[in-house]
Amino acid sequence: MRKNRRYILLAVGIVGATALAAIGPSGPTPDDGAALHQALADLKKDRLQEAENLAMRLATEGEKPYPRAWAVVAAARQRHGQYASAVRAYRLLLGSTNSPQIREYVMAQMAACEAALNPPSAQPYGKRLTASDRAELAQVEEQPYTESSEHFVIRAKNSRLAKLLATESEVSLERVCRVIHAGEAYPHSVEINVWADPEEYAGNAKDPRPWACGSFSIYTRDGATVRQIDLTQRDKAGQFSADMLDRVLPHEMCHLILREHFGDATCPLFLNEGLAMLAETEIDNARILLAGTALASKAKIPLESLLVRQGDDLKKPEVFYAEAFSFTAYLHSRLTAEQFRDFLDNIKQGCTVADALQRALYSPHDDKFLAEVASAWEDHAVTQAQYLKALRDAATGRKTPENWNPR
Ligand SMILES: [Zn+2]
């Protein structure tokens, strides 16, 4: 409990809100304790060089160096934009603590530094569109246009959108294959139909779903297998649906590829939806927040029931989707590509999730395995949500309540 609170305060403090003084116990001597408070105060006031120098002295010099001070060195460097040297300081901090909460926080900061050093080449396409792009892409012309790419044939009543989808669908395919670690090149062709609005989609899509604006289907036409994705160009308000590019297209494509991958075998709903959400172009922080908050409250769906839940018994669909995403992303990040592929193959062969995981990890069967995985995942999900909440509160200037500690 106390550790958790300290972790939250550490996170909040380092991202610039209040409560810096509560970073942890004072230094080994009263003088060092005062120096640490001074370094924290410098950090808070953006006197980054002073904070770094003072904390560096505490971390490395004196009779009893105080390694926790690397947190201040690292944060000062990170804020300065010196990401590579910030990562070195975070590593030293990591080596000095066994606290899972602080380790989790440090890993997140290191990931943020790495991301700043290697920015992704492009934002999701939908985010890069200007108002005039959107207006143009919302236009519905008389005749449909057909465009083709290596794996897709696209029909849309907007020539620019058809061309755009020819490129973006290949980008999505690459992402989906990376997420499910399907090593080989995708051998099929997929038809993509873009309907003008939700009404046209509902009336014409092969297998429309009333609550969605996109779907996939696999069926036979003239003796040949047809793979089809139906999408909607405009939302209910008549605006171009950028979500269609960034979310619906990769999501439905992932479902389609998983359906073929599993054949007659059943892919558990949590995994099917979790992977489809993971294939979307942008991580949805709302899902991470909801998963962590639900797991720490009465709304929690325990892992055991998450794994076996079916579409017709979804009482709390938002929580189910958030936890399904969180758990799938957790497994995906903890397993190597080979292990994850083995895990999917084991599921396909009819193993339970626990057995499929143990086999993929070459670990002997253990009845307590699933409970241990559940506990590690829940800790991770709750910490992730706390971290996001601390960042959000820091950005809005809101102080994280000290009693916001769901575990
Ligand atoms: Zn889905």
Does residue 133 share a domain with residue 113?
A: no
Q: How many angstroms separate the alpha carbon of residue 161 from the centre of ligand 1?
A: 23
Q: How many angstroms separate the alpha carbon of residue 270 from the centre of ligand 1?
A: 10
Q: How many angstroms separate the alpha carbon of residue 322 from the centre of ligand 1?
A: 12
Which domain-ending residue is among 226, 247, 262?
Answer: 262
- Residue 381: give the domain boundaries: 269-396
Which domain-ending residue is among 262, 283, 316?
Answer: 262
Q: How many angstroms separate the alpha carbon of residue 276 from the centre of ligand 1?
A: 6
Which domain-ending residue is among 82, 117, 152?
Answer: 117
Residue with tokens 């669908």: 169
Q: How many angstroms separate the alpha carbon of residue 255 from the centre of ligand 1?
A: 7
Does residue 130 share a domain with residue 110?
A: no
Residue 163 lies in a domain: yes
Residue 243 lies in a domain: yes
In eight-state DSSP terms, residue 245 is I
Q: How many angstroms separate the alpha carbon of residue 230 from the centre of ligand 1?
A: 13
Q: How many angstroms separate the alpha carbon of residue 57 from the centre of ligand 1?
A: 53
Q: How many angstroms separate the alpha carbon of residue 183 from the centre of ligand 1?
A: 22
Question: How many domains does the structure of the chain reveal?
Answer: 3
Print pLDDT tens along the chain (407 aa). 344 444 434 543 443 332 233 344 444 566 777 888 888 888 888 888 899 999 998 888 877 788 888 899 999 988 887 777 787 888 888 888 888 888 888 888 887 877 776 655 457 777 788 999 999 999 999 989 999 999 999 999 999 999 999 999 999 998 898 888 766 678 899 999 999 999 999 999 999 987 788 999 999 999 999 999 999 999 999 999 999 999 999 999 999 999 999 999 999 999 999 999 999 988 888 999 999 999 999 999 999 999 998 876 677 789 999 999 999 999 998 888 889 999 999 999 999 999 999 999 998 888 999 999 999 999 999 988 887 887 777 666 555 444 333 33
Our CA dihedral for 164, 170, 172, 176, rounded to 10 degrees, sits at 170
Widest CA span in the chain: 84
Residue with tokens 């590509």: 337
Does residue 228 share a domain with residue 169?
A: yes
Helix (H, G, I), strand (E, B) or coil at 255: helix
Q: How far, in Å, CA of 217 to CA of 228, rounded?
A: 5
Q: How many angstroms separate the alpha carbon of residue 2 from the centre of ligand 1?
A: 39
